[in-house]
Amino acid sequence: MARGILTQDELDQLNDNPYVIYAEEKRIVYSNEFKFLFINELHSGKKPSRIFTDAGFDISVLGSKRIERAAARWKESFAAGTLGSYDDFHLRKIHAANEAKRKKIEINKTIRTQSSKIKKLEHNIEIQKSKNESKLQRQKARHSLEISDLKQQKADLLQHQKICHSEEILSLKSKHDRSLERQRVILEKTVAEKQLQLDRQSETIAKLRAEVDVLKKAGSLERRRCKETAPGKLPIFELIKSTIEKFSLKGCVKMLCDSLGVARSSFYHYVNSCSVRSNRLDRDEKLFHTVKAAFDSIPYKNKGSRSVRTVLLRNFSLIINRKCIQRIMRKFNLVCPIRTANPYKGIWKASKEDVVAPNLLQRKFKTGVPLKVLLTDITYLKHQGSFSYLSLILDAETNEPISYVLSKSLKVDFVIDSLKKIEHLQFSEDVLIHSDQGVHYTSKAFRKKLKEMNIRQSMSRKGNCLDNASCESFFGHMKQELPDIRSLSFDELYSEIDKYMRYYRYERYQENLFRLTPYEYHSLLAS
């Protein structure tokens, strides 16, 4: 049966298992070692519950549903060849979140510790102050009593020995005065030492208050620090600088830097490099205008840093590092949207009464010779509430669209028309055309036309779009880069596609073609 939220005892039991990386109330992250062990044991015939039991897991803690879902997910990831990669990403994400939580807990703990120290110091100071005052009062009272006693003795001696002991009385008076002076000097020295000690304690308290203040502010900046600003960047150093100016403290840079976990040299470098950062910002703004001009010069948007770099090189004669362009685009929010999957893409299913050709290509798209491997496919284009169908023939070596036909119907004729458009081309020996197992490509008319043109036929495996990846990629880029076609008529759509095909052949630079267009690359190979 399925288990709900895991208890703390169950989490401790799971975290003790060597095959568990991290366990939460509603999530368990297993190690890649256990996942591959599970797949191997599963292939050897063991049941999933038996594999978990042998690995030291308690089935009553996990629940049968959780085991079944984990087994299904791992088998699917293993079949797709991505077993472990997704969890590694989430593991890093969880690790980063846990690290942020740990830092926040440490900062809060430090704040509480320093606050308790401050309170304790203040309390000790008050106690010491009261003790000093009471001690001083006792000493004054004792000295006053001694003085009065001596005066009384003096009076008695004067009365009884006024004549005989006048010199002795004077000597005793002088001696007593000297004793009082020494005691007064000692008392003043003691008071001065205590005052110096109090001043030092006050300075320590001020430094601790500054440290608590900067730690509190650093705690409020923690989320932004972990996600956007690494330690040693602007907010932390600016915080240290403002705290020093606020409390007017000198010599506490080391204490604040140690509390925030940054180096003093980095802080002084930040203070002394204000002009450098300002110059760097001005330089980045100038470079942004150049990158923006290249970005806007591309007729079809959604271009990334590689395309912008090639345009700068070919059209502006500027050599700029791609990482620099990427950094400028990110800094000034010049975004290239990621091409998303087409939700309306479907697979034409029909009974295949004709012969299916073997997969002769085996994904070996690049042969070094143009017009030796041809790729063909059909895509659906929705406009004005209906569909039109585009048949394309692509040269696999140069990525050049050498033939395309747009049709309102799915009859096999428009596929054959795309073949007729390339009859005049001079193909290489043993030319090969590769397609999927659609009804158009298994038809007798299509195979007959290929036989007339002396072209061998190859087909992808059933349900495997990667065998014709170049053609699928072309359609994906085309649909991403074309403007909105939903309101276009058939003639307008044909005009847009024709315009895009010319742009793709003669103007669209490609990294894997040595930054040349498909037409230029074909001319280079043919020369």
Decide if 169 contacts 154 (C-beta within 8 A). Answer: yes
Best CA proximity match to 49, nearest among 28, 27, 66, 24: 66
Whether residue 220 is predicted with pLDDT greater than 50 in this model: the reply is no
Whether residue 148 is predicted with pLDDT greater than 70 in this model: the reply is yes
Within a domain: 518: yes
Residue that is written with structure tokens 């004729």 in the block: 413
Decide if 404 contacts 398 (C-beta within 8 A). Answer: no
Q: What percent of the chain has pLDDT over 90?
A: 16
Decide if 32 contacts 82 (C-beta within 8 A). Answer: no
Whether residue 169 is predicted with pLDDT greater than 80 in this model: the reply is no
Q: What is the pLDDT of residue 349?
A: 45
More confident site: 148 or 247: 148
Sign of the four-CA dihedral 23, 27, 33, 39: positive
Q: Which of the four pLDDT bands, split at 50, 70 and 90, describes residue 340?
A: low
User: pLDDT digits over 467-514, tens only?
Assistant: 888 898 999 989 988 888 899 999 999 999 999 999 999 998 988 888
Same domain, 378 and 498: yes
Widest Cα–Cα separation across the chain: 158
Same domain, 143 and 56: no
Give the pTM: 0.41
For 185, the enclosing helix (H) or strand (E) is helix 166-220
Within a domain: 351: no
Q: Which of the four pLDDT bands, split at 50, 70 and 90, describes residue 343?
A: low
Domain that holds residue 213: 115-232
In angstroms, how far is CA 294 from the centroid of its own chain?
28
Decide if 337 contacts 323 (C-beta within 8 A). Answer: no
Q: Which of the four pLDDT bands, split at 50, 70 and 90, describes residue 388?
A: very high
The chain-wide mean pLDDT, for the chain, equals 80
Q: What is the pLDDT of residue 94?
A: 61
Residue where a domain stops, chosen among 83, 98, 123: 83
Same domain, 390 and 488: yes
The DSSP line for 55-113 is TT--HHHHBHHHHHHHHHHHHHHHHHT-TTHHHHHHHHHHHHHHHHHHHHHHHHHHHHH
Whether residue 346 is predicted with pLDDT greater than 60 in this model: the reply is no
Residue that is written with structure tokens 């140069």 in the block: 398
Same domain, 400 and 499: yes
Residue where a domain stops, chosen among 303, 331, 359: 331
Average pLDDT over residues 141-150: 81
Q: Which of 70-74, 265-269, 410-414, 478-482 has the lowest mean pLDDT?
A: 265-269
Q: What amino acid occupies position 402?
A: I
Within a domain: 417: yes
Same domain, 148 and 198: yes
CATH of the domain at 503: 3.30.420.10
The 3-class SS string of 223-265 reads HHHHHCCCCCCHHHHHHHHHHHHHHCCCCCHHHHHHHHCCCHH
Residue 83's contacts (CB-CB under 8 Å, 6 or more residues apart) are: 32, 35, 36, 39, 74, 77
Q: What amino acid occupies position 120?
A: K
The number of residues in the chain equals 527
Q: Which residues pair with 29 in a beta bridge?
A: 22
Average pLDDT over residues 354-359: 80
Query: Into how many domains does the chain fold?
Result: 4
Same domain, 319 and 410: no
Decide if 419 contacts 403 (C-beta within 8 A). Answer: yes
Structure tokens at 384: 């004005």
Same domain, 488 and 402: yes
Within a domain: 339: no
User: pLDDT digits over 227-274, tens only?
Assistant: 334 443 446 777 777 777 776 666 677 777 877 778 888 878 887 887
Decide if 59 contacts 67 (C-beta within 8 A). Answer: yes
Residue where a domain stops, chosen among 178, 209, 232: 232
Average pLDDT over residues 79-90: 65
Q: How far apart are CA 189 and CA 134, in angstroms?
A: 17
Decide if 481 contacts 500 (C-beta within 8 A). Answer: yes
Residue 304's contacts (CB-CB under 8 Å, 6 or more residues apart) are: 336
Decide if 114 contacts 211 (C-beta within 8 A). Answer: yes
The DSSP line for 304-355 is -HHHHHHHHHHHS-----HHHHHHHHHHTT---PPPPP-TT---------SP
Same domain, 388 and 505: yes
The DSSP line for 386-441 is EEEEEEEEEETTTTEEEEEEEESS--THHHHHHHHTTTTS-PPTT-EEEE-S-TTT
Residue that is written with structure tokens 């230029």 in the block: 520
Same domain, 121 and 188: yes
Q: Which of the four pLDDT bands, split at 50, 70 and 90, describes residue 135?
A: confident
Same domain, 137 and 72: no
Best CA proximity match to 449, nearest among 415, 404, 494: 415
Average pLDDT over residues 37-62: 84
Burial of 222 (0-12, 13-18, 19+ CB in 10 A): middle
Best CA proximity match to 87, nearest among 17, 152, 35: 35
Within a domain: 251: no
Alpha-carbon distances, residue 450 vs 416, 445, 446 (angstroms): 9, 9, 6
What backbone torsions phi and psi does residue 457 show, to the nearest 5 degrees?
-115, 140
State the alpha helices, DSSP H only, in 374-463: 413-420, 444-452
Q: Which of the four pLDDT bands, split at 50, 70 and 90, describes residue 354?
A: low
Decide if 206 contacts 247 (C-beta within 8 A). Answer: yes
Best CA proximity match to 194, nearest among 252, 141, 135: 135
Within a domain: 245: no
What backbone torsions phi and psi does residue 398 show, to the nearest 5 degrees?
-105, -5
What backbone torsions phi and psi does residue 33 show, to the nearest 5 degrees?
-60, -40
Decide if 490 contacts 498 (C-beta within 8 A). Answer: no
Within a domain: 457: yes
What backbone torsions phi and psi does residue 273 show, to the nearest 5 degrees?
-115, 30
Q: Which residues pair with 432 in a beta bridge?
A: 373, 456
Within a domain: 386: yes
Same domain, 397 and 464: yes
Same domain, 122 and 223: yes
Best CA proximity match to 128, nearest among 202, 54, 76: 202
DSSP state of 397: T
